[in-house]
A and B are shown apart, each in its own frame.
Chain A
Amino acid sequence: GAVVSQHPSRVICKSGTSVKIECRSLDFQATTMFWYRQFPKQSLMLMATSNEGSKATYEQGVEKDKFLINHASLTLSTLTVTSAHPEDSSFYICSAYSGNTIYFGEGSWLTVV
């Protein structure tokens, strides 16, 4: 079946630096991908919808200049957390549709120290 791969699975970065997370659809093309964030004991919250070849659509309250999304090809979307702070530490996960089924990446644990 379809697979969505995320990298890195875990990353630790220093406060003030930027970190990039990649989301790839391995055997299908995804014109739209979704980025979620999940804090401990909370639900997955949609951050933004990534659209191939155009600007991402951000949910209310998500800073587009802090969470940069690039979807330059039909199989790759990237999320860059810029000037990361400890409060950005979270589980970031992407998803994409193949047909009528949504597939999730394995998720990326970000720890900002």
Chain B
Amino acid sequence: RKEVEQDPGPFNVPEGATVAFNCTYSNSASQSFFWYRQDCRKEPKLLMSVYSSGNEDGRFTAQLNRASQYISLLIRDSKLSDSATYLCVVSGNTGFQKLVFGTGTRLLVSP
């Protein structure tokens, strides 16, 4: 079983749609959780950290369920510029600095 699992997609949505991505992780000792965005052939960029209480940043909402070892990302009012691959990232069990990446979920927003 992979340490971090994501649906690879692609998710094809029209502009303005709401889309949700899910991610599960296997290491119950993981402490830190993130969503990164990666554009084609570029480095990953931090989208947001994920907290147990849930957190929101503009059109983006992240949720964490530690009991189910499940993380989600909700994007509202999708923009064309949201088209990218979204990586679920979890800290490894050897310390928060060691990150484990999911394979990513690809999002395509069309006009």
Contacts and interface: CB of A to CB of B under 8 A. Distances in A.
Interface string A78-110: 000000000000010101010001101111010
Contacts of A91: 41
The bracket for how many chain A residues form the interface is: 20 to 34
B59 interface: no
SS of B interface (majority): loop
A43 B102 contact: yes
Interface residues of B, number: 17
Interface string A34-47: 10100001111110
A49 interface: yes
Contacts of B104: 43
Interface of A: 32, 34, 36, 41-46, 49, 91, 93, 95, 97, 101-102, 104-107, 109
